[in-house]
Chain A
Amino acid sequence: MILVAFFVFGLLYLAPGDPAAIMAGDAATTADIERIRETLGLDQPFLVRFGSWVGGILQGDFGTSMYTKQDVLKMISQRLEPTFLLMSMTLVLSVIVAIPMGAIAAWKHNTIVDRIVMIIAVLSFSVPSFVVGYLLAYSLGLKLSWLPVQGYKAIGSDGLYAAVRSLTLPALALGSVYVGLIARITRATMLESLSQDYTRTARAKGVKESLIVFKHALKNCSVPIITTVGSGVALLIGGAIVTETVFAIPGVGRLTVDAILRRDYPVIQGVILIFSFMYVMVNLIVDILYTVFDPRIRY
């Protein structure tokens, strides 16, 4: 995490495109630019700036936006609700759809069902989530008007149901890649465990085939599946930025895109740090889940 912090800071320290000059505007003199640079502390040496930046973050101070002059942490936390809801919906939806899909594909190995699942998986890797997003928004949203096309209804003002409804299409779009990923790893590990001795034993003692697949074998597949679900969160984060742009959702992703266009470095730094922190936490949770699902693993 420290390495990430250093990296993120170093990266944006080296960035060209002088923010002081951008802020001052076209009519500014060199003296004006110099004054702005001093108030932002941009004239200090690298390590001094890094030190004060890390010190600030440990106290919850991510700096202020160069553009809106607001506190970065506050800006991010205001936008966190739709992004968080979108990601959790995608996660739940994908896991519910993908694991049975992969399991059934392995169970009916080399049949038409298996083929169809594999084709869906390859397609989901190949069609980017923003393309799926537009396809869904156009067909289900605009033409059939089953669901809201764009925008977000906040939980606070419109209630949870409206919020979930407004995020259903984005979650489906964002989940498309994720479903392929999880279904594929489920199928692969399931094929392996279906050829193991314990499966044969279960069959020999007359356990129903569906029970073997979904109880005995699936339990033994849990570790690789959880790993994939965890590492796939990185995909979700990247996908959320793009999906929020497609569906005009005022989330952290939208904030990131705006910050990029304005070269608002403190905001970009803050967003990358928060997302990376989230990702590290997810991996920690994954490690803890291992011990729950597989008692053989001890730390």
Chain B
Amino acid sequence: MTVSTIDPPRSGLSRSWTWLRRNPAVLFGLVVLSILVMMAVFAPFLGTVDPKAVSPFERTQTPSAKHWFGTDMLGRDLWSRVVYGTRVSLTVGFLVAICSTVLGALIGVFSGFIRWVDAIVMRLMDGLMSIPSILLAIALITLSSASIWNVILAITIVETPRTVRLVRGVVLSLRDEPYVGAAQIAGISMPGVIFRHILPNTFAPLLVQATYICAVAIISEASLSFIGAGVPPSTPSWGNIMAEGRALWQIKPHIIAFPAIALSITVLAINMLGDGLRDALDPRMSTRRH
């Protein structure tokens, strides 16, 4: 991205609009994500019925005017279930992204600055990272009862070590910069230096990382629910709907298809947003273009 100096000064809003138009991937991601958030928030007003209401006479129907996405094997309306499933997926995705970013940033900053903390923390993180992530999440969830909060907690614990590494790396490379020394000499306290002068440098990579964590978290939740180690089966989540449709997938593929499409579009939108942000925020990436 090159900033032209000939352009007349414009308001922030119109500038970001111009920038968005040059990055169609980011724009696409934002639009799709906004629609999904709207769907999650206004789920009761989108032609949905109670997603848990069973109707034994209308089992496994294919899409029709009454049931837009058809019904599952208990006669529950699939459109309603998929729309309500958006709530679960987005809640998990956003909360995990926020929690593991904040947690990872805090741990990363302190371990980057304090030697003895670093030794302990990094061993612990290496240990966590040497267990494949889905297995670790499964172990953490079998430890607790099935609930959406435990799923969020488990995926957060799994994803945090990567954020810690990222932030620690940035801190280590900045710790010996002259401006940090200057700030310390100027009498700014240690927390002041960390939060005012070091942490802001990690925001750009952290933001990109957060979008990827959000995407991974949504896939993880769906996978965990799909194998029966996720949110309780009574909750309509995309993974649960697919798990229930598993037995009938050869004759009634629509039960699995709709949540699968919703899941893929959601994650695609978030990934495109992340890629666009990375290209825009990482100066190395843009100079490498030739």
Chain A interface (Cβ < 8 Å from any Cβ of B) = 1, 3-4, 7-8, 11-12, 14-17, 109-110, 122-123, 125-128, 130-131, 134-135, 137-138, 142, 149, 191-192, 195, 233-235, 237-239, 241-242, 245-246, 256-257, 260-261, 263, 265, 268, 271-272, 275-276, 279-280, 283
Contacts and interface: CB of A to CB of B under 8 A. Distances in A.
A28 B86 CA distance: 42
Contacts of B246: 245-246
A22 to B, nearest CB: 13
B135 A272 contact: yes
B132 A257 contact: no
Given A4-B127, A122-B268, A122-B275, A242 B223 contact: yes
Contacts of A246: 246
22 contacts: A3-B124, A4-B127, A4-B131, A7-B127, A14-B143, A16-B144, A122-B275, A126-B264, A126-B271, A128-B222, A130-B242, A138-B250, A191-B288, A233-B132, A237-B134, A245-B246, A246-B246, A260-B142, A260-B228, A272-B131, A276-B132, A279-B131
Contact of A134 (B138, B143, B256): B256
B263 A128 contact: yes
Nearest to B260: A131
B150 to A, nearest CB: 11
Given A130-B242, A138-B253, A16 B145 contact: yes
B271 A125 contact: yes
| Range, interface on chain B | 35 or more
Given A130-B226, A237-B135, 8 more contacts: A12-B142, A134-B253, A135-B260, A142-B250, A241-B227, A260-B229, A268-B142, A272-B136
B272 interface: yes
Nearest to A15: B143
B109 interface: no
B267 A126 contact: yes
Contacts of A268: 138-139, 142
B133 interface: yes
User: Interface residues of A: mostly helix, strand, loop or mixed?
Assistant: helix
User: Interface residues of B: mostly helix, strand, loop or mixed?
Assistant: helix
Contact of A238 (B134, B142, B249): B134
Contacts of A137: 249
A15 B143 CA distance: 4
A192 B288 contact: yes
A100 B258 CA distance: 34
A138 B249 contact: yes
B290 interface: yes
B260 A245 contact: no
A158 to B, nearest CB: 22
Contacts of B145: 16-17
B214 to A, nearest CB: 12
Interface in B239-290: 242, 246, 249-250, 253, 256-257, 260, 263-264, 267-268, 271-272, 275, 288-290
B54 interface: no
